């Protein structure tokens, strides 16, 4: 199938021509600097070029808080326009070639045609996200008091059926993973039996698991609170790994950076889940207070680096065999863009993710392991900090340029006047509440 990318290749080439000489100079300086520490910049750059992260279809539109959403002129109104915007992100940034869909939000009548449409834009599909945390028009049974863990058998069956429908859609789109996040939980002490609600969840989740094709995985996404404020059924990585272990080998845990209590050591959770072969995927975003869904790396870039330090450790030294299943996590951005152009936010976030990944590859692992074994605390800490302090921007820009993307993606995006042009073509998005 012939590809037709949304932005003009000439525009990107012209913008890059203005920046290329400066970039060559900065990259050469960085290479010499890294070489003095025994690090080959080109080898790290090749790693970065192979690294990819999926973008969420829902992230292409303006998000909102629980209070309001402020629409943007020219924002996408359906999955087709969202794919177009995701193609812009990938054309400029060259590290986000897959889109993660969400049903029923992205429902269409012909999924084979949608897959071809995505392919023509240079995109594929990542994990399917099911939705049993809100009711849909005409739905027979409400999820107001739970879905997979509902006390009502008919409601549980409906939630199971929706997840199985998501698998069927995913097969047509070429996806190989189902991400299950439920809003199930309680707002009052005593509202539900804390043990029995988990029993019901496990029984229903097992029916979904039984419908998984052989090469698929099911990923359980835990979240501490919201929409339930007293208890959540899959509240933390402990509940998640227990459920995943009970369901079977194809069931893994998915870590969303914003779904933990404040100050929780998420990098340690990454190491733990990998130790037991249960790290299935990661949702990137950032937060100051709770599940803020802010742009990745905007609040705490150091935490992002420490998470990637564990991910790269696992990538280089994967645990296989009885307690492990190798290392092949599904990486996705999961953010709500309330006050920015979503395309710019995802370009910026992808750069932050690539940067943390590159920095984790700058860590002198041999020196780190030796310092750890010798209990040389300061040397171990400094080994990490030296990698974190490096400015890898020229390396990321060089990787992007070599893949055909833009040296300066956001400036080039603005020069394309994409959003202004779309504001003339697309229908207006109404006011209303934000996404949940
Ligand atoms: Mn998430």
pLDDT digits (tens, 9 = 90+) for 190-215: 999 999 999 999 999 999 999 999 99
pLDDT digits (tens, 9 = 90+) for 41-81: 999 999 999 999 999 999 999 887 777 888 999 999 999 99
User: Does 356 have pLDDT greater than 70?
Assistant: yes
Q: Ligand 1: distance of its center to the CA of 219 in Å?
A: 11
The predicted structure's pLDDT at residue 319: 84
The predicted structure's pLDDT at residue 321: 63
Q: Ligand 1: distance of its center to the CA of 231 in Å?
A: 18
Q: Ligand 1: distance of its center to the CA of 98 in Å?
A: 16
Query: Rounded to an integer, what distance in angstroms lies between the CA atom of residue 95 and that of residue 92?
Result: 9
Q: Ligand 1: distance of its center to the CA of 56 in Å?
A: 10
- The conformation of residue 82, written as its DSSP 8-state character, comes to H
The predicted structure's pLDDT at residue 30: 98
User: Does 432 have pLDDT greater than 80?
Assistant: no
Q: Ligand 1: distance of its center to the CA of 234 in Å?
A: 13
Query: Rounded to an integer, what distance in angstroms lies between the CA atom of residue 433 and that of residue 68?
Result: 5
The predicted structure's pLDDT at residue 325: 67
Matching residue, tokens 């029923």: 104
Query: Rounded to an integer, what distance in angstroms lies between the CA atom of residue 248 and that of residue 182?
Result: 19
Query: Rounded to an integer, what distance in angstroms lies between the CA atom of residue 410 and that of residue 344?
Result: 6
Largest interatomic CA distance in the chain: 66
Report the pLDDT averaged over residues 169-183: 98
Sign of CA dihedral 12, 15, 21, 24: negative
Query: Rounded to an integer, what distance in angstroms lies between the CA atom of residue 56 and that of residue 61?
Result: 10
Q: Ligand 1: distance of its center to the CA of 170 in Å?
A: 18
Query: Rounded to an integer, what distance in angstroms lies between the CA atom of residue 124 and that of residue 424?
Result: 28
The predicted structure's pLDDT at residue 436: 41
Considering the chain, what percentage of its residues have pLDDT values greater than 90?
93
The predicted structure's pLDDT at residue 434: 53
Query: Rounded to an integer, what distance in angstroms lies between the CA atom of residue 74 and that of residue 408?
Result: 22
Q: Ligand 1: distance of its center to the CA of 334 in Å?
A: 5
Report the pLDDT averaged over residues 349-362: 98
User: Does 435 have pLDDT greater than 60?
Assistant: no
Q: Ligand 1: distance of its center to the CA of 178 in Å?
A: 13
Report the phi/psi class of residue 147: left, alpha or beta, with left for phi > 0 and alpha for psi in -120 to 50. Answer: alpha
User: Does 125 have pLDDT greater than 60?
Assistant: yes
pLDDT digits (tens, 9 = 90+) for 96-111: 999 999 999 999 999 9
H/E element, 267:
helix 266-275
Matching residue, tokens 């007293």: 230
H/E element, 27:
helix 9-36
User: Does 406 have pLDDT greater than 80?
Assistant: yes
> Beta-carbon neighbour count of residue 320 at 10 Å?
10
Q: What share of the chain is helix, strand, coil (3-state, %, to 5)?
A: 50, 10, 40
User: Does 293 have pLDDT greater than 80?
Assistant: yes
Average predicted confidence (pLDDT) for the chain: 95
Q: Ligand 1: distance of its center to the CA of 221 in Å?
A: 7
Query: Rounded to an integer, what distance in angstroms lies between the CA atom of residue 348 and that of residue 206?
Result: 38
The predicted structure's pLDDT at residue 324: 62
Q: Ligand 1: distance of its center to the CA of 376 in Å?
A: 37
pTM: 0.96
Q: Ligand 1: distance of its center to the CA of 259 in Å?
A: 8
pLDDT digits (tens, 9 = 90+) for 247-263: 999 999 999 999 999 99
Q: Ligand 1: distance of its center to the CA of 4 in Å?
A: 31
pLDDT digits (tens, 9 = 90+) for 334-346: 999 999 999 999 9
Report the pLDDT averaged over residues 315-321: 84
Q: Ligand 1: distance of its center to the CA of 425 in Å?
A: 31
The predicted structure's pLDDT at residue 243: 98
Q: Ligand 1: distance of its center to the CA of 256 in Å?
A: 5
Query: Rounded to an integer, what distance in angstroms lies between the CA atom of residue 397 and that of residue 409?
Result: 9
Q: Ligand 1: distance of its center to the CA of 283 in Å?
A: 5
3-state secondary structure of 20: helix
Residue 413 tokens read as 């995006």
Are the C-beta atoms of 192 and 201 separated by less than 8 Å? no
């Amino acid at each position: 199938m012939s590809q037709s990318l949304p932005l003009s290749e000439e525009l990107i080439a012209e913008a890059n021509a203005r920046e290329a000489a400066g970039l060559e100079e900065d990259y050469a300086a960085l290479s010499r600097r890294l070489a003095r520490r025994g690090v080959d910049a080109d080898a790290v750059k090749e790693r970065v070029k192979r690294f990819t992260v999926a973008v969420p279809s829902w992230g292409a539109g303006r998000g909102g808080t629980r209070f309001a959403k402020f629409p943007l002129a020219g924002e996408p109104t359906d999955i087709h326009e969202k794919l177009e915007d995701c193609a812009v992100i990938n054309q400029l940034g060259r590290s986000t070639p897959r889109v993660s869909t969400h049903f029923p939000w992205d429902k269409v009548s012909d999924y084979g045609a949608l897959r071809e449409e995505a392919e023509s834009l240079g995109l594929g599909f990542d994990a399917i996200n099911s939705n049993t945390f809100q009711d849909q028009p005409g739905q027979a049974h409400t999820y107001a008091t739970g879905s997979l863990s509902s006390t009502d058998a008919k409601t549980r069956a409906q939630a199971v059926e929706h997840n199985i429908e998501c698998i069927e859609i995913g097969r047509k789109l070429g996806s190989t993973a189902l991400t299950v996040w439920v809003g199930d939980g309680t707002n009052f002490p005593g509202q539900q039996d804390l043990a029995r609600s988990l029993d019901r969840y496990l029984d229903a989740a097992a029916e979904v698991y039984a419908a998984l094709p052989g090469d698929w995985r099911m990923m359980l996404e835990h979240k501490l609170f919201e929409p339930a404020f007293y208890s959540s059924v899959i509240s933390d990585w402990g509940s998640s790994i227990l459920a995943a272990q009970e369901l079977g080998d194809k069931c893994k845990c998915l870590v969303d950076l914003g779904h933990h209590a404040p100050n929780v050591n998420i990098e340690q959770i990454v190491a733990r889940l990998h130790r037991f072969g249960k790290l299935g995927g990661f949702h990137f975003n950032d937060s100051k207070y709770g599940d803020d869904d802010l742009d990745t790396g905007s609040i705490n870039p150091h935490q992002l680096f420490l998470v990637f330090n564990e991910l790269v450790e696992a990538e280089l030294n994967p645990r296989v065999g009885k307690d492990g299943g190798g290392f092949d996590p599904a990486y996705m951005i999961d953010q709500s863009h309330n006050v920015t152009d979503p395309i710019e936010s995802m370009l910026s976030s992808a750069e932050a993710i690539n940067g943390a990944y590159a920095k984790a590859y700058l860590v002198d692992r041999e020196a780190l392991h030796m310092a750890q074994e010798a209990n040389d605390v300061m040397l171990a800490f400094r080994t990490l900090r030296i990698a974190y302090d490096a400015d890898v921007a020229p390396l990321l820009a060089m990787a992007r340029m070599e893949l055909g993307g833009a040296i300066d993606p956001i400036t080039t995006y603005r020069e394309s006047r994409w959003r202004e042009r779309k504001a003339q073509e697309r229908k207006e998005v109404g006011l209303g509440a934000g996404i949940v």
